[in-house]
Amino acid sequence: MTLTGIALIIIAVALCILVLTLIPTITAVKRTASSIGTLSDMVQTELKPTIQELTAVLAELKTVGGGVAEHTDDVKRFMSALGETGTNLSTINRSVGTVTGILNSTTIWMTGAKVAGKYMLDRYLKKRGGM
């Protein structure tokens, strides 16, 4: 056998070993590709309805957001009116407090005047009766 023949036999054996090791790898790659295809189909069938539902939810959120934006001015007006009402109630409370203070002081003055009037009347009657 010549050197070329031995080299060809070694190449042939190496090629057979390579093919025998590549066959399981090729079948595994083929099964993986099939599995990926099935997964892709499943994702397509399940993802489309989910995307449609999300689109519907987004449309509803836009509608609700628009409604909220429309009523923001109403809420601002309500809060402004509520603030004015609080200010008016505070003013009324101060006025009532002032009137109450005046009535209390008037009552005190009237009581004092009444007591003084009785005292002066008693003194006048005593002076007159004693004469």
Q: What is the pLDDT of residues 50-97, one digit of tens each?
A: 888 889 889 888 888 777 777 788 788 888 888 888 898 899 889 888
Q: How many other C-beta atoms are found inside a 10 Å radius of the C-beta of residue 62? A: 10
DSSP conformation class of 102: H
Cα gap 65→59, rounded to integer Å: 10
Q: Is the pLDDT of residue 122 over 70?
A: yes
Q: What is the pLDDT of residues 15-50, one digit of tens each?
A: 999 999 899 989 999 999 999 999 888 888 888 888
DSSP-based three-state secondary structure for 131: coil
User: Which tokens sit at 12?
Assistant: 């042939």
Cα gap 115→84, rounded to integer Å: 46
Q: Is the pLDDT of residue 106 over 90?
A: no
Cα gap 15→99, rounded to integer Å: 115
Whole-model pTM: value is: 0.39
Cα gap 39→34, rounded to integer Å: 9
